[in-house]
């Protein structure tokens, strides 16, 4: 055998040395990599949040607002249901969640490498994230202790906390915690709150299909909510049922039978979207009736869901059909019973676009819809409906009031002057009775905003809210009894205890019954033959149109013996509309709403001169400012009460 030379021997030794060096370097890198990873996990272990308050849910107190029939209008804050044990839930509820969210839940140790690998492959194939690899334990760790930030640090903490949860609790305990704490949309946390919110039942009583709907919410609570999109919620529920079949929890025939229960989604009814204006207004007033002091409360209100839907439909249709051509972008409507109980409220064209409530917050000039208070003051000062005034060009000091289109009728009666909204006669009337007396009348009927103390007040130059203007008209509908605009009937705590309940001995009389009857006859003439003909119903009705300078505001406020309603149209920037007057869009919208709103109400005459006051009160009281309500909230009615006791001056 040939001997190797020295050079050959050296060449053989160098590769072995290089391999040893590479091995040492790899070991060195692995060691320091392990130290770095261990240090990283140690750091995150030291910065983990406290787990002492695991069973304590930190949340905002919830305010649940209900309509008069008990249906939900809105919730504020966080709504938690009753914590339930797994054995109290239908078997298929946790099964639906496991089949959809974490099919290997009972087989992994808090994290699922197989599930993570499967999700990673699916994401790579799709080119974007389509599946998450988080287990139910990881989701619980995130929900209990962490934020939803998509960071590496948060993910590491999530994994560590998931491992801790698996060490600390049994699988069933983890699942139970998860089902009672997970967010399921619409402010609800936990399956029991979701069952009440979406199906008006306890989670104990959920059907298989309802359980599938709730389990389907976990992926995207808002997107798959049956309130927001029933079709999408149904599609998602079908997928959950199929997941349960694949997981072996139910059979294919059971899934098909459950899918035929889609009608159960109808139970997840919700108030018309525009009722949020009403809900916000109610929520802002709760503190005036009781101190909720951080407790969950349920507020029952006077809102009629059917009337609310009709109100929104009437305003929306008017804006859709005539808004663009008439340069009208906003509308508002308030409807109440003659005792002031608010039955419907529309605060604008789109709550999602603007939460500003044009029914309660906007102060706009009422135009000629203010004239009833001028003529009420006139009747109280001895002027009769048959008295005549000369309708002709007029000058009062530096003021020259003009009629619409500058047309004049010569001698006219007070009744015709109001029916045809003649400005010159209204100006002469206020000059005779005095602006101070007109202001006193307006205050007596509940208008609280500052009013100009001059003759121009006759044409509605003061600013008022639609709510207080409408409630002032309610005194005519009731035959002279003051109307306290109210919405809250009862406030209860989470345990059913009554914190406030509306009650009272009766509101004061603010108009003499004979005078109130005469005013009703005058305002009936507005609809029968005057500017409000477009509002006419097939039952006794009365009201008044209103239009402000340059067509910036248009109103119609009217009533039957059962219902009072005010309608306003205009623009938020106060820009002029295109020749819109109170007798056109507002009167037609009022008519469209009132036809539907009163169709199940009895037909009754309006109170006439000397008629006894009689109107149905569906809530059992016609109360003055309730105890606990701020007295300054309605100084007009407070003044009326004082006048009724001591006599007005």
Catalytic residues: 101, 368
Q: Report the C-alpha gap between 375 and 362 in whole angstroms.
A: 25
Q: Are 307 and 278 in contact (CB under 8 A)?
A: no
Continuous H helices in 559-598: 585-597
Query: SS3 for 597?
Result: helix
Q: Report the C-alpha gap between 276 and 298 in whole angstroms.
A: 16
Q: Are 576 and 553 in contact (CB under 8 A)?
A: no
Q: Which residues pair with 569 in a beta bridge?
A: 331, 554
Q: Report the C-alpha gap between 47 and 14 in whole angstroms.
A: 49
Q: Report the C-alpha gap between 467 and 483 in whole angstroms.
A: 11
Q: Which residues of 217-253 are buried (b: 16+ CB within 10 A; e: fewer)?
A: bbeebeebbbbeeeeebbebbbebbbbbbeeebbeee
Q: Report the C-alpha gap between 555 and 557 in whole angstroms.
A: 7
Task: Give how far Cα 124 sits from Cα of 112, 118, 119, 155, 298, Å.
Answer: 18, 10, 9, 20, 48
Encoded tokens for 177: 């915690």
Task: Give how far Cα 356 sits from Cα of 277, 287, 330, 470, 558, Å.
Answer: 8, 20, 11, 19, 24
What is the Cα 273 distance to its own chain's centre?
6
Q: Report the C-alpha gap between 271 and 275 in whole angstroms.
A: 7
Task: Give how far Cα 633 sits from Cα of 285, 290, 442, 516, 639, Å.
Answer: 10, 15, 16, 25, 12
Q: Are 331 and 568 in contact (CB under 8 A)?
A: yes
Contacts of 556 (CB under 8 A, 6+ apart): 369, 532, 535, 543, 544, 545, 546, 566, 567, 582, 583, 586, 587, 589, 590
Long-range contacts: 225-229, Cβ < 8 Å, 24+? 225/185, 225/186, 225/198, 226/198, 226/265, 226/268, 227/185, 227/186, 227/198, 227/268, 227/270
- Residue reference for tokens 């003649």: 422
Instruction: Cite the beta strand spans of 77-126 per DSSP E.
Output: 79-80
Q: Are 569 and 587 in contact (CB under 8 A)?
A: no
Encoded tokens for 34: 């392990």
Task: Give how far Cα 285 sits from Cα of 570, 593, 630, Å.
Answer: 27, 27, 10
Encoded tokens for 391: 């309708």
């Amino acid at each position: 055998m040939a001997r190797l030379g020295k050079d050959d021997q050296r060449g053989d030794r160098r590769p072995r040395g290089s391999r040893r060096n590479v091995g040492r370097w790899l070991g060195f890198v692995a060691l320091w990599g392990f130290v770095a990873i261990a240090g990283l996990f140690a750091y995150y272990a030291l910065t983990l949040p406290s787990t002492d308050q695991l069973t304590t849910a930190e949340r905002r107190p919830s305010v649940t607002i209900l309509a008069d029939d008990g249906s939900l209008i809105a919730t504020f804050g966080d709504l938690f249901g009753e914590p339930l044990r797994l054995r109290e839930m239908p078997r298929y509820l946790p099964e639906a969640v496991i089949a959809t969210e974490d099919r290997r839940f009972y087989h992994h140790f808090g994290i699922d490498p197989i599930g993570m690998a499967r999700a990673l492959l699916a994401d790579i194939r799709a080119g974007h994230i389509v599946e998450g690899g988080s287990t139910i334990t990881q989701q619980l760790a995130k929900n209990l202790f962490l934020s939803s930030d998509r960071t590496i640090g948060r993910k590491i903490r999530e994994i560590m906390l998931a491992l801790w949860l698996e060490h600390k609790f049994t699988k069933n305990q983890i699942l139970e915690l998860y089902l009672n704490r997970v967010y399921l949309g619409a402010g609800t946390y936990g399956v029991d709150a979701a069952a009440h919110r979406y199906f008006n039942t306890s989670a104990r009583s959920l059907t298989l299909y309802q359980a599938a709907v709730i389990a389907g919410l976990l992926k995207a609570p808002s997107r798959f909510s049956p309130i927001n999109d029933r079709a999408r919620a149904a599609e998602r529920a079908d997928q959950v049922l199929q997941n349960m079949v694949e997981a072996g929890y139910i059979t294919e025939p059971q899934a098909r039978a459950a899918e035929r229960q889609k009608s159960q989604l109808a139970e997840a009814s919700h108030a018309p979207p525009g009722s949020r204006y009403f809900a916000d207004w109610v929520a802002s007033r709760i503190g005036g009736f009781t101190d909720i002091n951080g407790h969950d409360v349920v507020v029952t209100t006077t809102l009629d869901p059917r009337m609310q839907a009709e109100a929104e439909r009437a305003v929306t249709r008017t804006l859709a059909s005539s808004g663009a051509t008439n340069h009208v972008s906003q509308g508002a409507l308030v409807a109440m019973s003659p005792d002031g109980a608010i039955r419907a409220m529309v605060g604008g064209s789109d709550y999602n676009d603007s939460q500003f409530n044009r029914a309660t917050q906007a102060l706009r000039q009422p135009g000629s819809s203010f004239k009833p208070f001028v003529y009420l003051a006139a009747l109280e000062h001895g002027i009769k409906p048959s008295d005549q005034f000369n309708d002709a060009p007029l000058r009062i000091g530096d003021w020259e009031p003009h009629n619409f289109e500058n047309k004049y009728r010569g001698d006219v009666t007070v009744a015709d002057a109001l029916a045809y909204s003649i400005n010159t006669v209204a100006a002469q009337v206020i000059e005779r009775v005095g602006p101070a007396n007109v202001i006193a009348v307006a205050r007596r009927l509940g208008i609280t905003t500052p009013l100009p103390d001059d003759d121009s007040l006759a044409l509605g130059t003061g600013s008022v809210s639609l709510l207080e203007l409408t409630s002032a008209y309610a005194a005519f509908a009731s035959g002279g009894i003051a109307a306290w605009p109210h919405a809250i009937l009862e406030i209860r705590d989470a345990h059913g205890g009554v914190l406030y309940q509306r009650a009272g001995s009766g509101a004061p009389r603010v108009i003499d019954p004979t005078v109130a009857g005469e005013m009703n006859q005058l305002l009936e003439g507005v609809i029968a033959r005057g500017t409000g003909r477009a509002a006419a119903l097939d039952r006794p009705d009365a009201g008044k149109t209103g239009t402000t300078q340059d067509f910036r505001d248009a109103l119609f406020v009217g009533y039957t013996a059962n219902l009072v309603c005010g309608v306003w149209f205009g623009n938020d920037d106060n820009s002029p509309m295109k020749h819109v007057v109170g007798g056109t869009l507002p009167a037609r919208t009022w008519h469209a709403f009132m036809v539907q709103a009163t169709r199940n109400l009895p037909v009754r005459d309006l109170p006439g001169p000397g008629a006894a006051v009689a109107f149905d009160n569906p809530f059992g009281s016609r109360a003055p400012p309730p105890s606990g309500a701020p007295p300054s909230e309605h100084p007009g009615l407070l003044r009326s009460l004082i006048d009724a006791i001591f006599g007005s001056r």
